[in-house]
Structure 1
Amino acid sequence: MIEYLPRSKQHAELHLTQFGIEECIPGHFFGPAVRNHYLLHYVLSGEGVFEVGGSRYRLRKGQGFLIFPGVVTYYQADTANPWSYCWVGFNGTSAELLLKQAGLTKSSPIFLYDRDDMIYQYLQLMNESRGFHKARETRLTGLLYLLLSLLVEFGPVASPELKGTRTEIYVEEVKDFIEMNYPQKITIEDIAQFIGLNRSYLCSLFKQRMQISIQDYLIRYRINKACEMMGNAELSIADISRSVGYNDALLFSKMFKKVKGSAPKHYRAEIQAQIQNDSKNSIQQIEEEHLFYNGFVP
């Protein structure tokens, strides 16, 4: 069983290109050849060999191999005990990073997953998704994420070269959490618990990477959001304060002045004056253009 899928415009970060399950005949092989997408094979039973970059791997049930785009590979079923396997082909901007998190690289393309049959179950669910019409592509992408999450969760401990990558992931998770939750009364402890790291360790990673503490980043993010609201005359300073996570107006004023150098009311007055000035200039420009195009050049 094999199914090929069209190019995804909705899920550019990760999307399936094909998937399938096959019981190979003895000695069945493919290659040497290259692929234009990532192709992950998982052995369900039997044995076979996978060759890439001068290395030869003999694989059995519970093991798998990853083919990288543009890399020459060869694989063959055993003649006495041929393997059956399932596979998923995929691409996307997030694919390489997810695979690195799972410990899969060009120099280390083999993985082991012998805990249960969840990978096979996900392939079956992909096949059963034909009953979905409007949401099938989204469902398939979700199942691909679930499959890769198994390899990430139960893969090898991150190697030293991935330390920087993991730090970037944690930092982005902090920034995303703040972006989604800054209107709420959140603490650094809340962020650390969400990401699953020790508070002190996370703070150290973030400051090392961003040259600013998480607390200061949260404050600056909230104040910058408040500044974006200052041009809306329908919102009072108290409304803006509550909208960015400060129920205490005095604390908001204190933090605002610390970041922007002036009190919220003074900053707003400057913003509104600038808006009025820009509006006058715009009206004057329109009037001058009207005169020009009607032959009344001053």
Structure 2
Amino acid sequence: MEKAFKLDFINDKTGSLYVNCCGCSQTEALHSFGPASKPHYLIHYVLSGKGHFRFHDKEYRLEAGYGFLIQPNELAFYQADAKDPWSYLWVGFAGSRAEEYLHSMGLSDRHPIFSCDKSEELYSIVRDMMEHNTFGIADDLRRNGLLGVFLSVIADSAGVVAREEEDKGNQYVKKAVSFIQSNYCNPIKVTDVADYVCINRSYLYTLFQNYLGMSPQQFLTTFRITKARELLESTNYPIESIALSCGYSDALVFTKAFHAMKGMSPSKYRKESHKESTKEQLQEVEGLIARLLKP
């Protein structure tokens, strides 16, 4: 059960920036929300504990000092940690300039995570909003003014953290690709790659889809088959030896994987391989790796 104190406000929805709701919550283990959407922007900030936030097929593990943005009319899911459930505050808002301000802060659907070390100040602002909870013009002006202050406190660091999150994901993919390049000849699995990078398989899958447009398994198979093509053209190794050299302990499994990707058996490819150059064979994987190495 969630222990929450929240307020919802009525607005004319014509201003540049206005508060729709705000609140504070202390959750119990595994308390969750969604997947569901809201008609306005919603910022949550974690005061203590841990949890995770899932949005656009990406999952973020968050703890005290971090927050997340939910876009209007977009499905989102978040859940408290099983052992250390979080407490958080939130502010829902809208307005003709809300999107502009958020983008200027570096927050968007691609970069929904931020950090801020001013938890006491953010809590004080939200508490002030909640104390001025009438529908009179004085309290309305005060809440909307406090919203500007709330966003300004976050603005100092939100953009930097968004870029760091992206850079971190890119580094994970680079490490994973490097591991595959060095170990494709061994019978490694995607779980081995994830363990090496020290992230779970689900997150590794998400990162590969985001940066390379394919799953880790697809990349591993593509890399192995590309190396097999090179060996088929440049050596007279038996098919069984090429399979073993590319991480396949079963030649039949290798043959099926090769046929699925190239539309022919390894033996048939070998007969026709003199029509292609080694550079052309490697272009497919090198192109993927080059995308990771761009500054």
- TM-score normalized with structure 1 length: 0.50
**Where does 1:83-98 land on structure 2 (aligned, <5 Å)?**
83-98=86-101
2:81 alignment partner in structure 1: 78
> 1:133: how far off?
4.0
Q: Please, which runs of 5 or more residues in structure 2 have no aligned partner? A: 164-295
**Where does 1:207-218 land on structure 2 (aligned, <5 Å)?**
none
1:2 to 2, 6, 20: 6
Kept in 2, the 8 Å contact 1:98–1:152? The answer is: no
Kept in 2, the 8 Å contact 1:2–1:21? The answer is: yes
2:141 to 122, 138, 141: 138
Kept in 1, the 8 Å contact 2:68–2:114? The answer is: yes
- How much is the aligned-residue C-alpha RMSD, in angstroms? 2.1
2:107 alignment partner in structure 1: 104
Kept in 1, the 8 Å contact 2:113–2:161? The answer is: no
> 1:132: how far off?
8.5
1:118 alignment partner in structure 2: 121
Residue 51 of structure 1 aligns to a residue in which SS? strand
> 1:154: how far off?
3.2
2:132 alignment partner in structure 1: 129
Q: How far apart are the structure 2 equivalents of 1:125 and 1:88?
A: 12
Q: Return the index of the structure with the highest Cα Rg.
A: 1
- TM-score normalized with structure 2 length: 0.51
Change (3 A) 1:83 1:158: closer
Residue 97 of structure 1 aligns to a residue in which SS? helix
Q: How far apart are the structure 2 equivalents of 1:132 and 1:4?
A: 11
2:61 alignment partner in structure 1: 58
Change (3 A) 1:117 1:130: same
Q: How far apart are the structure 2 equivalents of 1:137 and 1:123?
A: 14
Q: How far apart are the structure 1 equivalents of 2:162 and 2:92?
A: 25
Q: How far apart are the structure 2 equivalents of 1:71 and 1:42?
A: 19
Q: How far apart are the structure 1 equivalents of 2:75 and 2:157?
A: 28
Identity %: 39
Kept in 1, the 8 Å contact 2:134–2:140? The answer is: no
Amino acid at match of 1:153: D
Q: How big is each residue's C-alpha offset from its partner over 1:203-228, in whole Å with a ceiling of 9 and x where there is no partner?
A: xxxxxxxxxxxxxxxxxxxxxxxxxx
2:37 alignment partner in structure 1: 34
1:149 to 148, 152, 163: 152
How many residues get paired? 159
Q: How far apart are the structure 2 equivalents of 1:116 and 1:31?
A: 25
**Where does 1:183-198 land on structure 2 (aligned, <5 Å)?**
none
Q: How big is each residue's C-alpha offset from its partner over 1:102-130, in whole Å with a ceiling of 9 and x where there is no partner?
A: 11011000000014521111011111213
Q: How far apart are the structure 1 equivalents of 2:64 and 2:162?
A: 25
> 1:150: how far off?
1.3
Q: How far apart are the structure 1 equivalents of 2:90 and 2:132?
A: 16
Q: Please, which runs of 5 or more residues in structure 1 have no aligned partner? A: 161-298
Q: How far apart are the structure 2 equivalents of 1:116 and 1:57?
A: 20
Amino acid at match of 2:34: G
